[in-house]
Structure 1
Amino acid sequence: MKKNAASIPHSVWPTAEMKRVEREAADSLGITLYELMQRAGEAAFAVAREQFPDTRSWLVLCGHGNNGGDGYVVARLAAAAGIAVTLLALESSKPLPEEAATARQAWLDAGGVIHAADVAWPDDVDLIIDALLGTGLDRAPRDDVSALIEQANLHSAPVLALDIPSGLNAQTGTTPGAVIEAQHTVTFIALKPGLLTGKARDVVGQLHHHALGLEPWLNGQQAPFSRFDESQLAQWLPPRRPTAHKGDHGRLVIIGGDHGTAGAIRMAGEAALRAGAGLVRVLTRSENIPPIITARPELMVHELTAASLDESLEWADVVVIGPGLGQQEWGKKALQKVENFRKPMLWDADALNLLAINPDKRHNRVLTPHPGEAARLLNCSVAEIESDRLLSAQRLVKRYAGVVVLKGAGTVVASEAGEAGIVDAGNAGMASGGMGDVLSGIIGALLGQKLSLYDAACAGCVAHGAAADRRAAQYGQRGMLATDLFMTLLRVVNPDVVDTKDD
């Protein structure tokens, strides 16, 4: 999913609060709800003209709600601009909301025609405006709506969705049935979580945002959720003092790498170094020591024994455990000792699988599960995790405390203090082995640089995703390796440095 990054806010509002937000914001500024609808239609029309300037025959699909009202406004503006407009509207036994009814009448008064939803489409349609369903969807679209959605998806014309692609749940990002596959989506007033996580990246296309003039009210509010992207890295990662030394940037111990998994612990270790850790010590199987040191001599690599673990826990500012740890006695014993570490720590991979067997709460810990691991931690199905990723992350925090990073498309970060955000970085090229190990090393390094658990998790996820985005922009997504991120990561975690080129 692409974005007009400069125009996309960092505040995210739950769908359940959108009606209140809209009403209070409009009332505070003396704006009627119909005027907001007019502004929404104007904003959408402007995006359509900007993105598709050569289109001459538009098909507008209007639902029986305020989203349909936005469609009527777009249709009227397009017709006034000399564009051929065919408007199809869904019928209902319920009356239209007042604002939508007014917009519908304005379309008719301007000479517009309303066609039934099942009429044949003109042959020359070159742009489809999706105004079928708004943010209130909580179930699969009914059959007549699904038929229109599927017809739009099969058509060669691009689709511009108003507020949200019809069929996408605005809160969860799930698609309970048919869903519009938009090339562009223009959302109004505030960002909704479902535009950023779950299936959103498959169907939203390029995201645009317009606050409709409600910025004075919105800017004075504290939104419940946040959107995190690369533009914020400078807030988390200021330039270093000229007199800084390696001890200022954290002593990190990374534990794992059972038989056959040396790569996992090596990637976590190098990622930590590239993310700015001062000193990184790796505790692993003795057989892994030569290849890891050969690949990355800056790592201090030792055999994991009871004595080396005790000494390392005394030495460390931060512990990362889990990459390649395994679930045998070797890994279990290490985790039992690490449980009592009082400084910041991160648990990933098999540390999470062992935690699911013996759950506990730790306030100094970051957990980084993918959906499968999250399902084991909550003793539920992956489908349940994915049905509401924000809620799932919050449930994990409630059960295990600390901070939780629920990985995936639109990674969610949540803390026991009630903070929650969605990471707006990363791409499908990251669906390859070792990416989670790299993320663990990055977050561990940022914990060592004295970021809070929550800030380290957010900044680490953003840096990880941004490094992958830069790599994908240069070489593409398919075939991206976890180790490909290291050099672009070096650039990303130095936001004060002006880029000249990417390696």
Structure 2
Amino acid sequence: MTDHTVKKNPASIPHSIWDADDLRRAEKEAADSLGLTLYELMQRAGEAAFTVSHTLYPQSTHWLILCGHGNNGGDGYVVARLAVAAGIRVTLLALENNKPLPEEAGAAREAWLNAGGVIHASDTVWPDDIDVIIDGLLGTGLRSAPREGVAALIKQANAHSAPVVALDIPSGLIAQTGATPGAVIHASHTVTFIALKPGLLTGKARDVVGVLHHNALGLENWLAGQETHIARFDVSQLVQWLPARRPTSHKGDHGRLVIIGGDYGTAGAIRMAGEAAVRTGAGLVRVLTRIENIAPIITVRPELMVHELTPQTLEESLEWADVVVIGPGLGQQAWGKQALQKTENFRKPMLWDADALNLLAINPDKRHNRILTPHPGEAARLLNCSVAEIENDRLLSAQRLVKRYGGVAVLKGAGTVVACDDALGIIDAGNAGMASGGMGDVLSGIIGALLGQKLPLYDAACAGCVAHGAAADKLAAQYGTRGMLATDLFCTLRRVVNPDVIDVEND
């Protein structure tokens, strides 16, 4: 079964992510630290890509290698030479350009020719028996849509039945943002070099990267000594955020959470947020909602304390609470507006979602005790821009939300981005089954519960997003992605937020 999750070789994928421009500038420093030339580093990249490709497709006999006019094409020349040496037939097509190749790529090209290799024009007719395509057209320096000749090759590769292995990044994918402004390779596998780039994990990455492989090219020790400001978060890190509880702990130790929302017709939103909170381990959860919602919610989840939202119950609850979540099903009428106005000055940790965000966009303010959890449409309203602008640079958009509104911003989507003043993370969990109603309400309850368990805002946001995605991934592995409901997550969420148990059982 397939979904749109970027699959990985877990042992080889680091948790640090490099800014794409910084990494390009750092390559020479890294090579110098080991006494390597950039050409020797290119040899290592080509060897890594060849090894992965040959291991994946050991019965293949004819590779088509597409080489661009930069160092990505240089990697392709190295792969071609190694493939021929291994007895594989190679047809190599190269893009022409009036400018000379970079020094390292030029050396790789000459080595290919000296080994008896032939370079065909990019418009050469492809042989009929191609069984693997190597994409070395465009690398991490791309900033706009591929030009017409390159786009034609990309489209031809995508239409071919042979699997595509992309070198460093699928051609047409922007390394920093994950945007695809034009034609883009749909790779079966991507072998990325030295370090992860953000665009491999967010934006359109999950549609085009395929299975992600990583090789540091022997620079692991150098990389370990460098600081990066972007992190990859996945299920393996949950145990750091969620250690086993003390045997003598009691419900008061795990947070008093108030969840506010559920206007007429949206009782489901507030109920899902409340149940997600108790399933994530909140000590006590009080729901403030319309009086009509009380009986239905208590009937399905009696562990929740459900009250009518009135000025008196709101005031009492804010005094009682350690954490507030507001927004699921809140609406934008007077009832919801008044609740938000009373809640906005709460001094302890808060999470604002859904209609609380839409109301915030109308009356912006900046607070540092708050997590915002917008989807791209809500983020566009908060930043007064288009959804396309949000999606074109999700990392920058999340940082802009923090700069304007303070606290922590969680920009939801494939490759959710979490940002605060001094940290930036990409969530490497979740799948396409989560594109259904109510998933955001569940996430709000999860993060709210973790805030009540005394995780700092940024950690609660990251851990909550990972737990949310990991619970959905467990469901997808068993049932597939189509037809996944938000409430389905409750059966796997409990397992995910007890990672010590999962580790013991090797789940």
Give TM-score, length-normalised by structure 2.
0.98
- Number of aligned positions between the proteins: 501
Asked if the contact 2:234/2:428 (under 8 Å) is kept, the reply is yes
Match of 1:395 in 2: 400
The structural deviation recorded for 1:94 is 0.4
Q: Which residue of 258, 262, 283 maps to 2:263?
A: 258
Distance 1:39 1:291 in 2: 62
Match of 2:3 in 1: none
Please tell me whether residue 463 in structure 1 is matched to residue 467 in structure 2: yes
Post-superposition Cα deviations, 1:134-171, rounded to whole Å, max 9, x if no partner, equal 00111111111011000000000000000000000001
Please tell me whether residue 453 in structure 1 is matched to residue 457 in structure 2: yes
Q: Which residue of 285, 305, 308 maps to 1:303?
A: 308
Q: Which residue of 270, 273, 279 maps to 1:274?
A: 279
Match of 2:427 in 1: 423
The structural deviation recorded for 1:20 is 2.0
Match of 1:484 in 2: 488
Distance 1:452 1:426 in 2: 23
Asked if the contact 2:496/2:502 (under 8 Å) is kept, the reply is no
Match of 1:125 in 2: 130
- Aligned residue type for 1:161: A
Distance 1:6 1:490 in 2: 26
Q: Which residue of 486, 494, 500 maps to 1:496?
A: 500
Match of 1:107 in 2: 112
Q: Which consecutive residues of structure 1, in runs of 5 or more, have no partner in the other structure? A: none
Q: Name the SS for the 1:477 alignment partner.
A: coil
Distance 1:501 1:328 in 2: 49
Match of 1:367 in 2: 372
Within a 5 Å distance, the mapping from 1:100-499 to structure 2 comes to 100-416=105-421, 418-498=422-502
Distance 1:313 1:116 in 2: 70
The structural deviation recorded for 1:498 is 3.2
Distance 1:451 1:25 in 2: 36
Considering only aligned residues, what root-mean-square deviation do their CA atoms show, in Å? 0.9
The structural deviation recorded for 1:31 is 1.3
Asked if the contact 2:233/2:428 (under 8 Å) is kept, the reply is yes
The structural deviation recorded for 1:103 is 0.5
Within a 5 Å distance, the mapping from 1:10-89 to structure 2 comes to 10-89=15-94
Q: Name the SS for the 2:184 alignment partner.
A: coil
Distance 1:308 1:370 in 2: 30
Distance 1:21 1:425 in 2: 29
Which stretch shows the higher mean deviation, 491-500 or 447-456?
Answer: 491-500
Asked if the contact 2:155/2:183 (under 8 Å) is kept, the reply is yes
Distance 2:276 2:28 in 1: 47
Q: Name the SS for the 2:247 alignment partner.
A: coil
Q: Name the SS for the 2:430 alignment partner.
A: coil
Distance 2:174 2:133 in 1: 20
Q: Name the SS for the 1:302 alignment partner.
A: strand
- Aligned residue type for 1:446: L
Post-superposition Cα deviations, 1:235-289, rounded to whole Å, max 9, x if no partner, equal 1000000111000000000000000100000000000011110000000000000
Distance 1:68 1:28 in 2: 25
Distance 2:322 2:499 in 1: 25
Q: Name the SS for the 2:356 alignment partner.
A: helix
Distance 2:200 2:234 in 1: 14
Q: Name the SS for the 2:500 alignment partner.
A: coil
